[in-house]
């Protein structure tokens, strides 16, 4: 049976950081998207496409709503779901006090399954249809997450965390184990259904040079595999890296030396980077995952988005929740904080730029723009429906919105998970808000 979605639709045809915002938008006040075999077959005005549908077509008409490409979360940690909102520390102490004890619990596969199932359902409830996720050092923690995502045919990138120093013994592997276990998981999962595997050193301080060398060798063997880690999140962390890797010019230079900068490599935070480091990220095609709620929550600093996306060398940037230092899986809540972070740097982030970071921009950061991140024929049919009357306040405020840009801005400043009426994955509705 032919399936279709009807309603106001918005996606991007260009980068609003580099071009005029309106020229980058593809907005259809009454659009129709037709699906088959998990992909979008056609998109256009409803008046033009409805007569082409067979009589038994299943058309889902979303009124008083806005249909967007499914949101993409470029950097998050599913094991940390159980420690969201943990009080009081900055990065290094926070890892030792909260993160490492929690992650040791994932030695139990049943526990990993339970948390992974909840995590995936929470993503869908928030309109997130693709995510790049850190598991733990335990290989079965990756299996748990990718099994949970596969139940919804959800596009998911995941990796086993690699650490061989500066962490509790129960969470340490070795250079050889990191290589062997990562390779085995890669061969099992990468390209299986909609799953991808990511090489995942936690960050440079918890990997010895020997482990980074082993992971760099694996990256050379599998040039299409994503790479994910952390970079320049906290000033104490940057200084720690300088002491550990004093022979390298910068934090970014460490990853570059070991062959871990390239397209489809994405690094969380990137707050405290020099211009030379931004140039290396741009030249290599690497990306930054912007994690504003986490950056504020841990007091790590404010990421200067305008500087990172400067037209002379625009580094790829995607939106990220970074749960559990991040305090919400909602991309709308995260965009609210991204706007505040930009304002702190003297830059008013437009609503077009913001939603680009959560959709097409995030897809480009992960090297997935030919698969997801838009509403266009040939792309995978992942979409989110935002309810313009989700709350009384939202409905009232939007009555006074005088433009599409203002409507988007209100959605990202007043919206949250309640705003998500439905989430579609691979052409199938997998979440509907109970009262929607």
Task: Read off the pLDDT band of 75 (50, 70, 90).
Answer: very high
The percent of residues above 70 in pLDDT, for the chain, comes to 100
pLDDT band at 214 (very low <50, low <70, confident <90, very high): very high
Mean pLDDT (the chain, rounded): 97
**Axis-axis angle for helices 331-344, 351-358 (nearest 10):** 130
Strand boundaries in 126-264, DSSP class E: 128-134, 155-159, 161-162, 195-197, 200-201, 227-231
258: confidence class by pLDDT, cuts 50, 70, 90: very high
The confidence score (pLDDT) of residue 1 equals: 80
- Judge whether residue 436 has pLDDT over 80: no
Average pLDDT over residues 335-360: 98
Rounded Cα–Cα distance for residues 318 and 360 (Å): 9
Amino acid 114: pLDDT = 98
The reply to whether 71-365 shares the fold of 3-70+373-432 is no
* E strand segments, 143-296: 155-159, 161-162, 195-197, 200-201, 227-231, 265-269, 287-290
Residues facing residue 223 across a β-bridge: none
Torsion of CA 350, 353, 357, 360, to 10 degrees: 150
For residue 393, how many other CB atoms are within 10 A of its CB? 10
Per CATH, domain 71-365 is 3.20.20.140: yes
Q: Which candidate, 371, 293, 388, 274, places its Cα nearest to that of 339?
A: 293
Examine the pLDDT at 23 and tell me if it is beyond 90: no
d(CA 170, CA 185): 20
* pLDDT beyond 90 at 251: yes
Counting DSSP H helices and E strands in the chain, the numbers are: 18, 18
Residue 219 confidence (pLDDT) above 90: yes
Q: How is residue 236 written in tokens?
A: 């104490």
Q: What is the pLDDT of residue 20?
A: 82
Q: Is the pLDDT at 21 greater than 90, yes or no?
A: no
Question: Is-contact 225 264, C-beta < 8 A?
Answer: yes
Band the pLDDT of 339: cuts 50, 70, 90.
Answer: very high
CATH topology assigned to domain 3-70+373-432: Urease, subunit C; domain 1 (2.30.40)
**Phi, psi dihedrals of residue 41, rounded to the nearest 5°:** -90, -35
Each domain of the chain, given as residue ranges in start order, spans 3-70+373-432, 71-365
What is the pTM assigned to this prediction?
Answer: 0.98
* Structure confidence at residue 22 (pLDDT): 80
Q: What is the pLDDT of residue 113?
A: 98
CA dist., res. 394 & res. 411, Å (int): 8
Q: How do residues 96-125 score in pLDDT, each as one tens digit?
A: 999 999 999 999 999 999 999 999 999 999
Q: Give the pLDDT score at 311.
A: 96
Q: Read out DSSP for 245-278?
A: TTTSSSHHHHHHHTT--STTEEEEE--S--HHHH
């Amino acid at each position: 049976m032919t399936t279709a979605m009807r309603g106001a639709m918005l996606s991007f045809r260009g980068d609003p950081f580099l071009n005029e915002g309106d020229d980058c938008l593809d907005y259809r006040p009454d659009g129709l998207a037709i699906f088959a075999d998990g992909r979008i077959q056609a998109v256009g005005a409803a008046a033009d496409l409805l007569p082409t549908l067979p009589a038994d077509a299943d058309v889902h008409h979303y009124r008083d709503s806005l249909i967007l490409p499914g949101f993409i979360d470029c950097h998050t940690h599913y094991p940390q779901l159980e420690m969201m909102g943990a009080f009081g520390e900055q990065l290094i102490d926070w890892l030792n006090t909260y993160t490492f004890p929690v992650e040791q619990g994932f030695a139990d596969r049943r526990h990993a399954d339970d948390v992974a199932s909840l995590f995936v359902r929470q993503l869908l409830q928030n309109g997130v249809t693709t995510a790049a996720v850190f598991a733990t050092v335990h290989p079965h923690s990756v299996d748990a997450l990718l099994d949970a995502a596969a139940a919804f045919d959800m596009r998911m990138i995941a990796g086993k965390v690699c650490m061989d120093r500066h962490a509790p013994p129960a969470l340490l592997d070795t250079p050889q184990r990191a290589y062997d276990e990562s390779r085995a998981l890669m061969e099992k999962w990468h390209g299986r259904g909609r799953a991808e595997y990511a090489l995942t050193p936690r960050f440079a301080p918890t990997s010895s040079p020997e482990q980074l060398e082993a992971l760099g060798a694996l990256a050379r063997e599998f040039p299409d595999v994503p790479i994910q880690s952390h970079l320049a999140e906290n000033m104490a962390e940057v200084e720690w890296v300088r002491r550990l890797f004093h022979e390298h010019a910068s934090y970014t230079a460490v990853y570059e030396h070991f062959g871990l900068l390239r397209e489809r490599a994405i690094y969380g935070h990137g707050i405290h980077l020099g211009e030379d480091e931004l140039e290396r990220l741009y030249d290599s095609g690497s990306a930054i995952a912007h994690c504003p709620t986490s950056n504020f929550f841990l007091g790590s600093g404010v990421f200067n988005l305008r500087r990172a996306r400067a037209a002379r060398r625009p580094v790829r940037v995607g939106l990220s929740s970074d749960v559990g230092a991040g305090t919400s899986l909602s991309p709308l809540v995260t965009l609210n904080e991204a706007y505040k972070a930009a304002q702190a740097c003297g830059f008013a982030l437009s609503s077009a730029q913001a939603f680009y970071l959560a959709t097409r921009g995030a897809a480009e950061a992960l090297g997935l723009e030919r698969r997801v991140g838009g509403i266009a024929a040939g792309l995978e049919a992942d979409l989110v429906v935002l309810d313009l009357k989700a709350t009384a306040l939202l409905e009232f405020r939007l009555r006074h919105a005088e433009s599409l840009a203002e409507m988007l801005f209100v959605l990202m400043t007043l919206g949250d998970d309640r705003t998500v009426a439905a989430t579609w994955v691979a052409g199938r509705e997998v979440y509907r808000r109970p009262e929607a």
